Structure 1
Amino acid sequence: MRTLTPLLVVAICTSWVVCKPTQEKKGRVHHNKDLSDHQHDDSQDFQYDHEAFLGKEEAKTFDQLTPEESKERLGNLVNKIDKDKDGFVTGEELKDWITHSQNRYIYENVNKHWADYDKNKDNRISWEEYKNTTYGYAAGEVEFYDVVEKEKYRKMKERDERRFKHADKDGDLIATRDEFTAFLHPEEFDYMQDMIVTETIEDIDKNGDGVVDVDEYISDMYTPETDEPEPEWVKTERQQFKDHRDLNKDGKMDRTEITHWIHPQDYDHADLEAKHLIYESDKDKDDKLTKREILDNWNMFVGSQATNYGEDLTRRHDEF
């Protein structure tokens, strides 16, 4: 068997885009993202609603359309949003669409690299396909001089397999596009939150006791230089741990407390926006929208280069 140095293995992985495992250090806390950078003030304009409903980039496309083109495209979108094809868009369907629009960049990224993993072209990705593509050089086919490096790759593969199985809802070890997206971007899927907590504990809990003490918490974000005095922001974080992270005041964070930390109970922006759009468009007040109700209020959902917000708002208020 050919023997490669760890340095050469790293070089191979660097040149092979899809060989990168899923583990990456990133922000621990997963806040619900706001849906737009614009102020949500319907008395000024509907730009917030446009970007919430369409996503930022798609909203720019609609801004360039005529009102007729914008309405036609909106009608086509309504057909997609109405998943059960009953002729109504419910709050849940609208919320799901808004969430999908906000995460479009994630789906586009998955689509971009899908063919790299889907070797048999069946529009699904098995664990074997992912493992062989990602760990082909590091999953037993290479002898490592560095035992530590070999152990690192073994643990990464085991962790990826566990996450893959968690994302794979039906347990067949073959991921649909949505399941594979959940595997690569677990922070965007509610049913993956428990896996994120598990991985966070493994990352931070250095002594393996299943909980995180204040020193482990600090060491995840700060490594002191020799004889360096502790910065003020680190002292502040220690106090944050004591006051807000360690809820039962036992000197460490358990699984429940870590869940509160990395998954704070934020506002569900997609749900709030869905309720707002329904409230503003639901003429018969049955808490769901027909295509006609949406198209009658099209300029709140989407835009066009000819939309005049001020005149339209005046007209809408005069109708009541």
Structure 2
Amino acid sequence: MYPKAGSLKALSLLLLSITGGYPKPTLRNERVHQDPTLSDKPHQDSANFEYDHEAFLGKEEAKTFDQLSPEESIERLGKIVERIDDNKDNYVTMEELKAWIIRVQKRYIFENVAKVWKDYDLNKDNKISWDEYKQATYGYYLENPEELQDAMDQFSLKKMLPRDERRFKAADLDDDMVATREEFTAFLHPEEFDHMKEIVVFETLEDIDKNEDGFVDEDEFIADMYAQEESKNEPEWVKTEREQFTDFRDLNKDGKMDKSEIRHWILPEDYDHAQAEARHLLYESDKNKDKRLSKQEILDNWNMFVGSQATNYGEDLTRNHIEL
């Protein structure tokens, strides 16, 4: 069983702080669930369909759909269905759904890199050197250390600068400390590249292993997702996660996870996220059980695919249609 999105934060991923007109960048070290390209929301259909929305639409487009009325959401979903149906036979198969989800997630990665590229390519040579990245991200505080607000900021800078440099070097395949577009994409989205898998595992261990013994024990595993409150019993979902640790994470039953077990946890080679989500959407919507979806079956289950919070109807949306 793969870790639940949102409940587990297995992948260390620095959400980059861009100067972009702000004199003082904010030092942040936010960690998100592995495979952030699908969704970092909990996949809990009994509570909401946020995970499905982000997987099917992409994170940014899901935000747009949240502001639409149900009627508008259904109308747009109908147009999307026509695009998913590659062979135009008026049915959507699991393979077509999977291809669409992969396409959406690749778009998210492309847009994410494009959005920040100009902020780091300071000399506009269509490459980003380590010095450019370091200057754009940390330059202000390196030049003005007195501006660091507290010990936590000092710790963040001390930790994240060498961590970023280590990841940058791993992504830099030709060892020239200058990142091409593809190398910078590997730096920002290491989970998508085979040669970056080891750095993903190492960063995960580094973040969760609080006693620095080179392993993740059960308490560290739980502490990464749940802050124990005084005089309160653990909720049932935490108890379930403890069982998951014992039954599925600690493979050699020595009470802790080593690097190989962490890799199996966050980067399981036998688990295809797009395939699993496509299968889930089809299973939940295929009312006549013919293993394919008609347009009407999808529209009938529109809330799972796109949903709608139906708020802020007058708000100007930043994106009014899906462009793929």
TM-score bin (small chain): 0.5 to 0.7
Distance change in 2, residues 1:218/1:44 (3 Å): same
| Whole-angstrom distance in 1 between the partners of 2:228 and 2:205 | 22
**What residue in structure 2 maps to residue 107 of structure 1?**
110
| Whole-angstrom distance in 1 between the partners of 2:28 and 2:128 | 15
Q: Is the 8 A contact 1:125 1:175 kept in 2?
A: yes
Moved more, 24-33 or 181-190: 24-33
Alignment equivalent of 1:120, drawn from 104, 116, 123:
123
Distance change in 2, residues 1:14/1:242 (3 Å): farther
| Whole-angstrom distance in 2 between the partners of 1:161 and 1:199 | 13
* Offset at residue 148 of structure 1 (A): 4.1
| Whole-angstrom distance in 1 between the partners of 2:186 and 2:130 | 14
Distance change in 2, residues 1:12/1:182 (3 Å): closer
Q: Is the 8 A contact 1:118 1:124 kept in 2?
A: yes
| Whole-angstrom distance in 1 between the partners of 2:174 and 2:136 | 23
* Offset at residue 196 of structure 1 (A): 0.8
| Whole-angstrom distance in 1 between the partners of 2:90 and 2:18 | 54
**What residue in structure 2 maps to residue 162 of structure 1?**
166
**Which amino acid in structure 2 is aligned with residue 105 of structure 1?**
Y
Alignment equivalent of 1:264, drawn from 265, 268, 273:
268
| Whole-angstrom distance in 2 between the partners of 1:15 and 1:225 | 40
| Whole-angstrom distance in 1 between the partners of 2:149 and 2:119 | 29
Find out whether 1:130 has 2:133 as its counterpart: yes
Which secondary structure state, in structure 1, belongs to the residue aligned with residue 144 of structure 2? coil
**What residue in structure 2 maps to residue 217 of structure 1?**
221
- TM-score, with structure 2 as normaliser: 0.58
Alignment equivalent of 1:183, drawn from 187, 193, 197:
187
* Offset at residue 48 of structure 1 (A): 6.0
**What residue in structure 1 maps to residue 31 of structure 2?**
25
Which secondary structure state, in structure 1, belongs to the residue aligned with residue 140 of structure 2? coil
Which secondary structure state, in structure 2, belongs to the residue aligned with residue 187 of structure 1? helix
Which secondary structure state, in structure 1, belongs to the residue aligned with residue 32 of structure 2? coil
**What residue in structure 1 maps to residue 91 of structure 2?**
45
Alignment equivalent of 1:249, drawn from 247, 253, 259:
253
**Which amino acid in structure 2 is aligned with residue 109 of structure 1?**
N
Alignment equivalent of 2:154, drawn from 150, 154, 173:
150
Q: Is the 8 A contact 1:18 1:113 kept in 2?
A: no
**What residue in structure 2 maps to residue 63 of structure 1?**
none
**What residue in structure 2 maps to residue 234 of structure 1?**
238
Distance change in 2, residues 1:149/1:230 (3 Å): same
**Which amino acid in structure 1 is aligned with residue 254 of structure 2?**
D
Which secondary structure state, in structure 2, belongs to the residue aligned with residue 223 of structure 1? coil
- TM-score, with structure 1 as normaliser: 0.58
Distance change in 2, residues 1:187/1:18 (3 Å): farther
| Whole-angstrom distance in 1 between the partners of 2:270 and 2:90 | 26
Identity of aligned residues (%): 52
| Whole-angstrom distance in 2 between the partners of 1:119 and 1:159 | 21
Structure with more of its chain in helix, by fraction? 1
1:298-309 to structure 2, matched below 5 A, reads none
Which secondary structure state, in structure 1, belongs to the residue aligned with residue 31 of structure 2? coil
Over residues 25-59 of structure 1, what are the superposed CA-to-partner deviations in whole Å (9 max), with x where a residue is unaligned? 21146798998687999875247666655x57xxx
Higher alpha-carbon Rg: 1
Q: Is the 8 A contact 2:130 2:178 kept in 1?
A: yes
**Unaligned 5+ runs, structure 1:** 1-10, 57-98, 272-320
Aligned length: 219
| Whole-angstrom distance in 2 between the partners of 1:22 and 1:154 | 12
**Which amino acid in structure 1 is aligned with residue 22 of structure 2?**
W
* Offset at residue 223 of structure 1 (A): 0.5
Distance change in 2, residues 1:198/1:140 (3 Å): farther
Distance change in 2, residues 1:31/1:122 (3 Å): closer
Which secondary structure state, in structure 2, belongs to the residue aligned with residue 139 of structure 1? helix
Distance change in 2, residues 1:249/1:17 (3 Å): farther
